[in-house]
Structure 1
Amino acid sequence: MVVDFLSLAPDQQDVLASLPFDGHHLVTGPPGSGKSVLAVQRAVMLALTGEPVTLLTRSNLLRQSLEPLAAALGPEEGLDVSTVHRWLHSWHRARTGRPAPQADDGWFDWAAVFQVAAARYHGTGPLLVIDEGQDLPLDFYRLCRLIGARTTVFADECQRITDTQSTLAEISSLLTGPNRHDLTATHRTTRPVAVLAARFHVGGTRPALPDRAGPTPSLHRYGNAQQVAARVAEYTKTRPDEHVGVILRHTRHQMELAERLERLMPRSRLQTYVGEGAGRYRTLDLTRPGVTVLNRRSAKGLEFDTVFVPDTHLDAGDDPTGAGLRMLYYVLVTRPRTRLFLGYAGDKEPPLLVHIPATELVRDQSADTIAS
């Protein structure tokens, strides 16, 4: 579905309309507040002025999810949707004839990149719109300042789940005081899902709860991986038009579950994504209903009608009070538009979930009830 300006909620329209074309801007908001949609809208508006604009994401899968909307709304030329890695390699190659030198952490030799920027920069810098900006390293924003990039950053530091990440204060400092614009409402999830998500919110003011009703999230105990596959297959059999996301911690478990689902649902529209893979596991059609099996690292910025997170037991050894684990679950829990099914293996609920009351997280709901 194409989300044009008139389809936006009033608070989203207000923020978008308040963004001047010049200067740096930082737009913040909770999950489901529409940051990704507004990032596309912002990039389209800038491109319509005639200057080239690049919409950047850290995640290749998030890039894939935004590209169709940008193509539907934007001009035929002048707007590129790219990952930060691809864009920086292209930027460096245009100036040196070589791709940017990489570092062991998967990013870049920033000192070498800065030298190229300092030696080759002339005139006005590029127009950049950045989605999920909290997941980019501080050195990327240092580069933006060095090359005079005019940036609009959409971010939520309560969703930082990567090893290289930036706080809103750090982004503001490196962009020399951008104009701040805040989204406060969430438009994606139901009220019961938002209530559970609030349990994992870290820092700052909790987002206001949405009014939309829906089923209470549930927690199910699985005996083995085959039961997980059977549960997902049974659920989706009666809902062929839903977008269902299954999010797992480990790539190996992700691929094993995808193989089981292919056997159980040979005619279904099943997709899986492996970030470091290629071919059929590297490209998805996120506009197509069906089941998508993902790794947690790829879930940021995405949304589904229903989400299964069946392996919460793998987090039992992590500190349930730690900010990292809580921010991870804040991201996972806020992916569904309507239904959320958490799961675990073993005899004990994971420490992070065990104290959540049944009014917010229903236990061991039967498969017959879930499929209805």
Structure 2
Amino acid sequence: MAARNWSLPNIQDLSKEQERARLLPLDGCHLIVGGPGTGKSVLALLRTRRHHRDKGGQGYVFLVYNKLLLEASRELVDGAVNADSWIRRFKAMYKWALSQHCPVDGTPYRLDWPAINEAILNASAPKPPVTPFVIIDEGQDMPKDFYHALAELGFEHFYVVADQNQQITDEHSSLREIATELDIDPENRIELTENYRNCDSVARLAMAFCVEDLASPCVKLPTARPCVRAPVLVDYGPGCRWDYDTLVERLLKLADRDPAKLIGIITPNNKSRERWLKSLRERPVTLDHGRPRILTYASDSDGGDHRFSEGGIFVINAQSSKGLEFDTVFLADIDEYPYQLENKDWMDDLKRRFYVMVSRAREQVILLRQSGRNCPIEAILPVDQAILKRWR
């Protein structure tokens, strides 16, 4: 297995706006706003270094949206971080403060916020927080009630990084809601504007899906990192240049060409994820370096190889791609995304999802569509072939 160039930047390599965000006071509430590739997650992790102790208990906690991002964050700092997924840690915070289990709404992954807020309001003397400093990544994907409850439980010091344009969950917060619930002074909000991840053509395609909001503007296009290959939409199946099996072989050979690169295949649902995973693991093909690591992640499973520091192919669903980064990204079976063409809010949410998925790629992005199927997603795809080439 080949090691991949994947690590936190050195402090001296930060931009002026990033360094300003890094050096904000430890006390108080701060909001860092920026689009994909601006270094928000990097700054959140660098923030943990200012709090972290080699021995003894930690006075901070680093909260992320999902378990896969949690694993990736821990790997970047060699495990030296007190981190957790936000739902799991909130349940622990609530139980500590009120000495009772946190109310849930039907499933362990959906919290009953009305019951939570009522219990906090009626509590006589909640215990003070064990970790008074809270650092939050992808803060737009936690609900407003989450921030309200933390403030009511006595948490006073927050460092939140967020982008309103990347909301892809049913329960989310606007930047205004985060600032209001945490009483964040406008002077303690910093906006990051430069994209340091994507090469120019990938960034341009991502921008085509950006539903710009005045509260969270889209990032500037990078000018110093030209892409070697332009983004492309590939139709596969009957009547096309490639069928499914040929496409699987080409994917495996692409990974074999440079074993140190990590390829992300982002699928619309579990059925599609399992189909691609099975084919990549079983399709007979002659390779120079042997079959690459074929990884996957599902929210209802634990364990497995999820390392981002080595090359291979990682097959995940769209919902799990938040905050991650790959060298090349394939958006598989885009014809299978649910849609409501007459519902503007629905289609805007779909654009945000594609904005997030495309911007996971450092160097190249390829969209895959099955031929002969209805594909309403065409309605949100750019028609300019200078932005998205089309192969059939």
TM-score by length of 1: 0.88
Deviations, residues 18-41 of structure 1 (Å, cap 9, x unaligned): x11111111000100011111011
Which of residues 84, 87, 90 is equivalent to 1:88? 90
CA distance in 2, matches of 1:143, 1:22: 19
Q: Does 1:290 align with 2:315?
A: no
Equivalent residue number for residue 297 of structure 2:
273
Change beyond 3 A, Cα 1:221–1:104 = same
- Once residues 163 and 111 of structure 1 are traced to their aligned partners in structure 2, the CA distance between those partners, rounded to angstroms, is 17
Give the distance between the partners of 1:101 and 1:344, measured in 2 at CA: 42
Query: Is contact 1:313–1:346 with CA below 8 Å preserved after alignment?
Result: no
Match of 1:369 in 2: none
Q: Say if 2:46 is the partner of 1:41.
A: yes
1:154 paired to 2:167: no
Q: Do the aligned partners of residues 40 and 120 (structure 1) sit closer, same or farther apart at CA in structure 2, a change above 3 Å counting?
A: farther
Residue of structure 2 in register with 1:324 after alignment: 349
Indicate whether 1:357 and 2:376 are aligned: no
Could you say what secondary structure the match of 2:105 adopts? coil
In structure 1, the partner of 2:133 is 127
Aligned residue number for residue 193 of structure 2: 184
Specify the SS of the correspondent of 1:328.
helix
| Residue correspondences, number | 357
Query: Which residue of 2 is the match for residue 216 of structure 1?
Result: 230
Shift of the 357–295 alpha-carbon distance from structure 1 to 2, 3 Å rule, reads same
Q: Which residue of 2 aligns with 1:107?
A: 110
Residues 201 and 330, structure 1, Cα contact 8 Å, conserved in 2: yes
- Give 1:57's aligned residue: 64
**The one of 177, 182, 188 aligned to 1:175:** 182
Question: Once the 2 structures are TM-superposed, how far is the Cα of residue 51 of structure 1 from its aligned partner?
Answer: 5.6
Relative to structure 1, is the Cα distance of residues 262 and 24 closer, same or farther in structure 2, using a 3 angstrom cutoff?
Answer: same
Q: CA deviation at 1:119?
A: 3.5
- Give the 3 Å change call, closer, same or farther, for CA 51–192 of structure 1 in structure 2: same
Q: Structure 1 residue 67: deviation in Å?
A: 0.8
CA contact (8 A) 1:316 1:352 kept: no
Secondary structure in 2 aligned to 1:358? coil
Counterpart position of 1:299:
321
> Aligned pair 1:140/2:146, yes or no?
yes
Match of residue 219, structure 2, among 207, 218, 221: 207
Aligned-partner residue type, residue 358 of structure 1 = Q
Q: Choose 120-129 or 323-332, whichever is displaced more.
A: 120-129
Measured after TM superposition, the shift of residue 136 of structure 1 is 0.4
After superposition, the C-alpha distances for 1:27-73 in whole angstroms (9 at most, x for unaligned) are: 0001000111110111221336996110001211111111123346x
CA distance in 2, matches of 1:225, 1:174: 49
Q: Is the 8 A contact 1:228 1:310 kept in 2?
A: no
* Residue 257 of structure 1, CA deviation: 1.0
Please give the alpha-carbon distance, in whole angstroms, between the structure 1 residues aligned to 2:382 and 2:174.
Answer: 30
* TM-fit CA distance, 1:276: 1.1
Aligned partners of 1:142 and 1:96: how far apart in 2? 16
* Cα displacement (A) at 1:225: 4.3
What is the match of residue 193 of structure 1? Answer: 202
Alpha-carbon contact 1:201-1:327 (below 8 Å) kept = yes
Give the % identical residues: 29
SS of the residue aligned with 1:107?
A: strand
Name the structure, 1 or 2, with higher relative contact order (CA <8 Å, separation 6+). 2
Structure-2 separation of matches of 1:39 and 1:119 = 34
Structure 1 distance, partners of 2:270, 2:338, is 19
Q: Which residue identity lines up with residue 334 of structure 1 in the other structure?
A: S
Secondary structure in 2 aligned to 1:313?
helix
Which is further off, 226-235 or 53-62?
A: 226-235
Moved more, 326-335 or 313-322: 313-322
1:368 corresponds in structure 2 to: none
